[in-house]
Homo-oligomer: A and B are copies of this chain.
Amino acid sequence: MAVHDVKPRPVVSKKDALVREMLERVADKWTLLVIDALEGKRDVRFSRLREAVGDVSQKMLTKTLRQLERDGLISRRVHAEVPPRVEYTLTPLGDSLGAAVCGMWKWVDAHVEDVERSRRKYDAPAQR
């Protein structure tokens, strides 16, 4: 064994790392929008998805979809046709993640005002 074993810091724990990783995932620019666009639907084509999500670049959409697929949150089905057709569907796991995110959504929904008021106050040009 070599230098690899020297762990200068606890790194919290493996699971903690995954929690943060998943949080990062759902928080990144497109993931949530993609999940949202897939929720309740089946076999959505790449181009439809791109329209639904908004102005996502093709590159970023592809990347996002690959990550979601790797994590088992969506399924990707390629049809061997001559204009290629690829369809995406949320897996049950992905569906459940969508539900979990709902908690955050509700929190924001309930507290937008609080946050915005606090920000205005904080940003206020130091009066007097």
Contact = CB atoms under 8 A, between A and B. Distances in A.
Contacts of A93: 111, 114-115, 118
Given A12-B54, A97-B107, A108-B15, A117 B72 contact: yes
A11 to B, nearest CB: 8
Contacts of A112: 15, 18
B100 A101 contact: no
Contact of A23 (B15, B27, B96): B27
Copies in the complex: 2
B18 A115 contact: yes
B100 A107 contact: yes
Interface of A: 8-12, 15, 18-20, 22-24, 26-29, 32-33, 54-55, 69-72, 93, 96-97, 100-109, 111-112, 114-119, 122-123
Nearest 6 CB-CB pairings of A with B: A72-B118, A103-B103, A27-B27, A100-B107, A23-B27, A70-B122
